[in-house]
Each structure stands twice: as C-alpha cells, then as structure tokens.
Chains A and B, each alone.
Chain A
Amino acid sequence: MENHEHEPHENHITSYTTLAKVLIGLLFLTFITVAVTGIHLGPLTVAVALIIACVKGGIVLTWFMHLKFELPVFRYMVLGVFLLFALIIIVTFFDYAFR
C-alpha cells in the first residue's frame, strides 16, 4: 500500500499526429535559428539563438518527455532544476563580471 496521491491519467496516449506536428514545429525552429545567424544582429544573435533553443527545449520537455501528462510534482522538480542552474550561472558571474 503506497500513498498514491493523485494518480495522473496513466493511460494517456499521445496521438501520432500530435507528435508529428511537434516534430515539424521543432524542425521549423531549427531552420529559423540557422537563418537568423545569417542576419547580422550583433550581440543579439546569441540571445535569439538561446531563446529559440529554450523554446525548443520546452517543447521537447512538454510533449516528447510527456511532462504535460505527469503529476504536477514532476513539473515543479524540472522547474526547480533549471532555476537552480540559472542561479549558479548568475552567482558565478558575480565574480567574473566584476573582476
């Protein structure tokens, strides 16, 4: 006997078409990333590339990795880990940005 709080929809099936749409979206975003580097945006280029990468990562996490259909606690954990990593980078730059 375990403490199964709120079981999610255990037999959720993601349809082939949804997955195909997600794939097309990801390929499109990849195309945009490559195309954008051709335009000279200066320092913004990296920012744009990283924002697009984050969007792609979010899509992979949500649909391919089924986060959308898991218990909420999974989403909190993932969010926490990314927050932690962002904070580590920021705190380290307290040193490098002010040397």
Chain B
Amino acid sequence: MEEHRDDIGSRMGMWIFIFTELLLFGGLFLVYAIYRADYSAEFHTAAHELNAFIGALNTVILLVSSATVAMAITAVQKENKKLALILVAITLLMALFFLVNKYFEWGHKIHLGIYPGSELLTKLERGELLFFGLYYFMTGLHGFHIVVGMILLTVVFFKIKSGAINAGSFVLLENGGLYWHLVDLIWIFLFPLLYLLT
C-alpha cells in the first residue's frame, strides 16, 4: 500500500496539539488572573522592575519572525527555494535575538537578587513574590517553547534545502510555522500582562 497522505489531517493534528499548548499556558494564565485579582497593587509595584522596552523589543522581534515564516510558505508555494531558505533563516536569527534579550533580562534580575527562593524576594510583599514567581515560570516556559520551535524550524530549513519540502508537499513547513505562530500568540498575551502593568 502506498503511504497514506492527508495534508489537512496533518494540519488538524498540529492544531489539536496547539490547543493542548494553549491550555498548558492557560493554566498559568488562570493562576495569574487569580493572584492579580487578589494582589493587584503589589503586582503593579513589582512590574516596575520589568523593562518594558526589552519586552516591546521582543514583541517586535517575534512579530517579524512570525511574518517571515508565513512568507516562507508563500515562497515555497511559488517555488522560490532560495527566498524560502533566507526567510526561515531570518526567523531562526530572530529567535536567537529573542533568547539573547531574555538572557540579559533574566541575568540582570538575578544579579539584583530577584529570583525564586532568593533572600530578597522572601522579604518582599507576598504579592510581589508571586508576581516574580509567575514571571519566571511563564517566561521560562515560553522560552523553552522558543527553543523547541527553533529545533523544529532548523529541521524544516534542511528539508527545504534537500527538496523534501517543495511546492507539491510542504505540510511540514506549514506545521512548523503553526508552532512558531503559537509561540508568538502566547507572547502577545504575556507582554501586556507582565510588562505593561505600571
């Protein structure tokens, strides 16, 4: 029997996986909503520590990378392999920028002594402590998804290069792209909730 192929089915599978990811973060958003309702003043104070500029910069980075990966699909459909490769490479580069930013952001905070379990944090107001707990947990999990997305897109890059992904069969690129957009989608909500509270 020849290999069964159903692109719509594959995309449906990817979407369902995305739903599980959304609800995974959904659990955290629920915790956020409840503690924010309980400690709204302290959340405000704590959010002052976050650098809204870096947050906004990272938002722009992710939006651009989302656009480039979507354009890569167009390029593959138009059989422009070279452009597709460049676009995926830009996406990967953007992802790297995002992580570098995150590294400096976290590094700065840890340097100041703000990290889960730190002495400084246990002396703060309870709501501020919870805010930083959520901040590290949510951005950490999101960062982990960035890394997974980068691995996926690297695989996609080499498959475009080898011709395994082409104008006749590109569902893998579409699914990799869907995953990348998910990462973007979550950041779109994380950004105002964590950085723009001031």
A contacting B, Cβ–Cβ less than 8 Å:
yes
Which secondary structure characterizes the binding site on chain B? Answer: helix
Q: What interface size band does chain A fall in?
A: 35 or more
A65 touches B78 (CB 8 A): no
Q: Which residues on the A side are within 8 Å of B23 (C-beta)?
A: 81, 85
Q: Which residues on the A side are within 8 Å of B34 (C-beta)?
A: 92-93, 96
A23 touches B192 (CB 8 A): no
B178 touches A19 (CB 8 A): no
- Bound CA span A26–B184, Å: 11
Give residues of chain B (23-70) contacting chain A, Cβ–Cβ below 8 Å: 23, 26, 29-30, 33-34, 37-38, 52, 56, 59-60, 63-64, 66-67, 70
Give residues of chain A (58-99) contacting chain B, Cβ–Cβ below 8 Å: 60-61, 63-66, 70-71, 74, 77-78, 81, 85, 88-89, 92-93, 96-97
B86 within 8 A of A: no
A44 within 8 A of B: no
Given known contacts A33-B196, A64-B70, A85 and B22 CB-to-CB distance under 8 angstroms: yes
A57 touches B185 (CB 8 A): yes
A81 touches B174 (CB 8 A): no
- Bound CA span A92–B37, Å: 12
- Bound CA span A28–B37, Å: 29
User: Which of the 9-residue segments B8-16, B106-114, B121-129, B149-157 touches chain A?
Assistant: B8-16
Interface string of A4-48 (1 = CB under 8 A from B): 100110110111100110110011001001100100000001100
Closest Cβ of chain A to B67, distance in Å, is 4
B15 touches A78 (CB 8 A): yes
- Bound CA span A96–B70, Å: 41
Question: Which of B66, B181, B188 contacts A53 (CB under 8 A)?
Answer: B188
**B residues adjacent to A (C-beta < 8 A):** 6-8, 11-12, 15-16, 19, 22-23, 26, 29-30, 33-34, 37-38, 52, 56, 59-60, 63-64, 66-67, 70-71, 73-74, 77-78, 174, 177-178, 181, 184-185, 188-189, 191-193, 196-198
